[in-house]
A and B are shown apart, each in its own frame.
Chain A
Amino acid sequence: MNHLGIGIAILGVGIGLGLIGLGAMQGMARQPEAMSKLQINMLIALAFVELQGLLAFFVLPIMVK
């Protein structure tokens, strides 16, 4: 069951990462001169979403026994 929970958590993280990528890509396509700013902010947002997946993968198996 643990593995199923991790799978569901990673599913949510994947959707979140995809949404961030979608937003950043659309922004870059509409305004190519803002690319560098968008990339930095995109990376920050990616890092925060990615952390949830890492927490689910590394900390959840210890907490749920």
Chain B
Amino acid sequence: MLLQDFRLGSLLAEASEHEISFWGLFMYFLLVLAILVVILSMAKKSFGEKVFKKWPAQLFEQAYLFVEKLCLSTIGPHGRKYVPFIMTLWLVIFVGNSVALFMASSPTEDLSFNLGMALIAVGYAQWEGMRTNGVLGHLGHFAGPKLATFADPKTWLFFLITILLFCIEIISELMKNVSLSLRLFGNIDGGHKAVEAMNNITSGALIPLGAFLMPIKILTVIVQALIFCLLSCVYLGMVTSHASDDHAHGETAPAH
């Protein structure tokens, strides 16, 4: 009961009527995990074969190739290291969104779950940035280019600009969590609201008009899973490029 009161999703309780309790969210997440475990264990059976002939293994091979290409093209040549992380995010979000197509609610329709995933993605990007550039180097990323030179009489002005940039970058780093979570929540919850509104139009004639929104909802499911992973890749790529060859990375990365 207490956990329910502290849920971040209840902040938006006035805006959204799709409120599920903490344990309801837990059960939906268990459903997502069960689907993933069943399909993955089916795919694991054909690991020893030379050619994948059964559909689960073929499906996950294609999904893996897709995510690997995404990582390599967005992060750069060292992006293969982050494939497991991005793949996990992609699978959970995609299956969670697919559950939302057929059921009343889903894990990704809850803001607290999405905020948890966004915190993991952005926090992992910070950790990787600190591992690549060192703690001071990572914090120096936020301060922008080196403007202050002590020979200049206007050093204090550049110093002020650097401090201002640092504050703005920290705020934008925090806003990344909000934007990642709110985008996923808004798209999935908005889809449900649109279906309800369209059902209400023709509820007198007993025609489920909302069912005709299915194609655009399927598109939303795929695109939102892609966008979450893509933005996680972009955030990872921004902080893990080395400071010395920053420009070289930016120009050679798209060629891969």
Show the binding face of A for B, using Cβ within 8 Å.
37, 40, 43-44, 46-48, 50-51, 54-55, 57-59, 61-62
Contact = CB atoms under 8 A, between A and B. Distances in A.
A14 B15 CA distance: 22
A43 to B, nearest CB: 6
A47 B229 CA distance: 12
B183 A37 contact: no
Given A43-B223, A47-B183, A54 B190 contact: yes
A61 B27 CA distance: 30
Given A58-B12, A61-B14, A40 B186 contact: no
Interface of B: 11-12, 14-16, 70, 73-74, 179, 182-183, 185-187, 189-190, 223, 226-227, 230-231, 234, 254
Given A43-B223, A51-B179, A51-B183, A58 B15 contact: yes
A62 B12 contact: yes
5 closest residue pairs by CB, A with B = A54-B186, A47-B227, A58-B15, A51-B179, A61-B15
Contact of A54 (B73, B74, B187, B227): B187
Contact residues of B: prevailing secondary structure: helix
Given A50-B183, A54-B182, A54-B190, A40 B74 contact: yes
A64 B164 CA distance: 29
A43 B234 CA distance: 12
Contacts of B70: 40
B117 to A, nearest CB: 15
Which of A43, A44, A50, A54 has the most B CB atoms < 10 Å from its CB? A54
B226 A43 contact: yes
A6 to B, nearest CB: 11
A59 B234 CA distance: 26
Contacts of A55: 182
